[in-house]
Amino acid sequence: MTRIAFIGAGSVVFTQGLLADLFGFDDLGELHIALHDIDPERLRTAASAAAVIATELGARPTISAHLDRRAALEGCDFVVNIIQVGMNDATRIDFDLPARYGVRQTIGDTLGVGGVFRALRTFPVLRGLAADIAAVCPDAWLLNYTNPMAMNVWYLSALGVRNVVGLCHSVHWTMYDLSELVGVPFEEVRYLAGGVNHQSWVLRFEHGGESLYPALDEVIRRDPEMLRRVRVDMYRRLGYYPTETSEHSSEYVPWYLPHDSEIERLRLPVGEYLRIVEENVASYEKTRDAVKAGDPVPVEATMEYAPQIIHSIVTGAPRTVYGNVVNDGLISNLPSGSVVEVPCLVDALGVQPTAIGVLPAACAAVNAAYVNVNTLVVKAALDQDPRAIRQALMADPATAATLTVDQIWALCNDLVVAHSNLLDPELRAVL
C-alpha cells in the first residue's frame, strides 16, 4: 500500500483537486491518504470531502485524519506540503503594514516584503516537519507546494531533507496558454523553460522543429492590448517569455509597481491576493457546508504535478515535470546551492533534474536579484540573524525601488513585532 500524507490538508479546495487527480489513476494499487491539519474543523471537512471524491470517482482508498503530524507521516512514501502559516490574518498584515510605507504588492507570496515574512513564519514549521520526516519516513518524497517556493525548498534542503522537490503549475499553464494564443495544439508543442520559481523563462517554444516565437510576435502585433501585460512587456525587452502571471511578475523587479504610470499602463491589481483570500474562504465554506449537508462536492482534475510524480514513481511510467530543486550544476550562471526551476524526468528512480546550462545573460541577471533575496532570508533563518532580514529587503528590487534604507529598517521592525508569535525568538529583535 502506498501511503501519502497531506500536510495542511485544511486547504480543502487544493486538497480536493490533488485527490481528484490521484483517484483518476486506476493503476496505483492500494492507497492510504493520511490527512493532517491543526484546525479540527478544516481537518474534518477535508476528510469528509476526500471520502466523497473517492466515492464519486470509484476509488477505494483508506482515509485517515490526524491532528498529530507525526502520526500522519508514519511510514509515508510521499508527503504533500500545502501549509499556510498564519493564514489570512498574517497575509493581511503582510499587505497592510507595507502599504502604510508606500510599498505596493499584488500577490506577496514569493519575494518582496510578503514573500520574506511568509518564509520566516513558515520556516519554524518546516523545521518541525523535517524532523518528523527524518524520524518516521526518511525516504519519503516531500512534494512542496507552499510558497515562497524557492526559499522553502532551499531551507528544507539545508536541514537535510533528502528527497524534496517544489512544485508549481506556472510553466505548464504558461505553455498551455501560449499554445492557444498561437493556434497550435498544446500536445504538439515542444518547449524548454528554466530559471527560478515564478520567474522562469521560455527558452524554446517550437512546433515541427520551428520556433513559435515569430507567431507569438505576430499575435502581439495584431492586439495592442497585449502590450498592457507585464509579462509581454518583459518578453519584448528581455527576449524570452516569463512563465508567471503579470501580477506575480510585477513584484520581482523594480520597474513597475513603484510607478503610478506603470500601474495604469499595465493594469496592475494592487492588493490582488487579498481578494483571492476572500474567494478561498468562500470556497472552503461552500465545501464545508456541502459535506455537512450530504450534498455533492465538485470534483475537477487539476493536472497538478504531485499526483503525476506519485504515479510515475509507483508505476515506473516516465514523464517530465518542472520542479524546483537545488542548483547542483543545473543552471551554471546562477549560484550553486540556490533553488532553480528546471525540467525533471520522473520514473521509478524518483525525480531526476535536467541540466539547462547557461541562461541568456539578461534572464540570469534578473534571476540573480531574486536569488540574492533568497540567500539572505535563508541565512537569517539558519544563522538566526535578524540583520539579514533587513538586508534581504535592501536587496529586494521592488522594495529598494520604493523605500529608503531607514524606511526598510522601520518596516521590518513593525513586521517582526506584528508576526512575533510566528517567528523564531532570535528573529523578533527590533534593530
Residue spans per domain, the chain: 1-168+240-356+367-425
The pLDDT score that the predictor gives to residue 420 is: 95
pLDDT in tens, 118-128: 999 999 999 99
Give the other-Cβ count within 10 Å of 146's Cβ.
Answer: 25
Residue with cell 533575496: 373
Whether the predicted pLDDT of 281 surpasses 90: no
The pLDDT score that the predictor gives to residue 14 is: 84
The pLDDT score that the predictor gives to residue 176 is: 96
The pLDDT score that the predictor gives to residue 222 is: 96
Our measurement of the distance from residue 3's CA atom to the centroid of its chain's CA atoms, rounded to an integer in Å, reads 23
pLDDT in tens, 356-391: 999 999 999 999 999 999 999 999 999 999 999 999
Please report, to the nearest 10 degrees, the dihedral formed by the alpha carbons of residues 220, 221, 224, 227 taken in order. Answer: 50
The mean pLDDT of 288-298, rounded to a whole number, is 82
pLDDT in tens, 109-150: 999 999 999 999 999 999 999 999 999 999 999 999 999 999
Q: Catalytic annotation on 169?
A: yes
The mean pLDDT of 262-275, rounded to a whole number, is 94
Whether the predicted pLDDT of 210 surpasses 90: yes
Mean pLDDT across the chain: 96
Distance CA 310, CA 417 (A): 41
Q: Quick check: 361 and 353 in contact, CB under 8 A?
A: no
Angle (CA) 410 416 418, round 5°: 100
Least confident of 144-158, 285-299, 346-360, 366-380: 285-299
The residue count of the chain comes to 431
Distance CA 145, CA 149 (A): 7
Residue 135 grid cell: 524520524
Whether the predicted pLDDT of 293 surpasses 90: no
The pLDDT score that the predictor gives to residue 296 is: 80
Angle (CA) 78 354 373, round 5°: 80
Residue 53 DSSP SS3: helix
Whether the predicted pLDDT of 300 surpasses 80: no
The pLDDT score that the predictor gives to residue 290 is: 85
The pLDDT score that the predictor gives to residue 414 is: 98
pTM of the model: 0.96
The mean pLDDT of 221-242, rounded to a whole number, is 96
pLDDT in tens, 5-56: 999 998 877 888 999 999 999 999 999 999 999 999 999 999 999 999 999 8
Q: Which of 32, 36, 66, 169 is catalytic?
A: 169
The pLDDT score that the predictor gives to residue 285 is: 87
Residue 431 grid cell: 534593530
pLDDT cut 90: percent of the chain above it: 91
Q: Quick check: 133 and 73 in contact, CB under 8 A?
A: yes
The mean pLDDT of 141-167, rounded to a whole number, is 97
The mean pLDDT of 342-349, rounded to a whole number, is 98
The pLDDT score that the predictor gives to residue 295 is: 81
Sign for the CA dihedral angle at 16, 19, 20, 21 comes to: positive
CATH number of 1-168+240-356+367-425: 3.90.1820.10
pLDDT cut 70: percent of the chain above it: 100
Distance CA 106, CA 247 (A): 6
Whether the predicted pLDDT of 301 surpasses 80: no
Residue 44 grid cell: 474534518
**Nearest residue to 47 (alpha-carbon basis) of 31, 60, 61, 65:** 65
Burial level of 193, CB count in 10 A (0-12/13-18/19+)?
Answer: buried
Whether the predicted pLDDT of 299 surpasses 80: no
168 vs 284: which has the higher pLDDT: 168
Within 239-322, residue ranges assigned H as helices are 246-250, 260-265, 272-293, 305-315
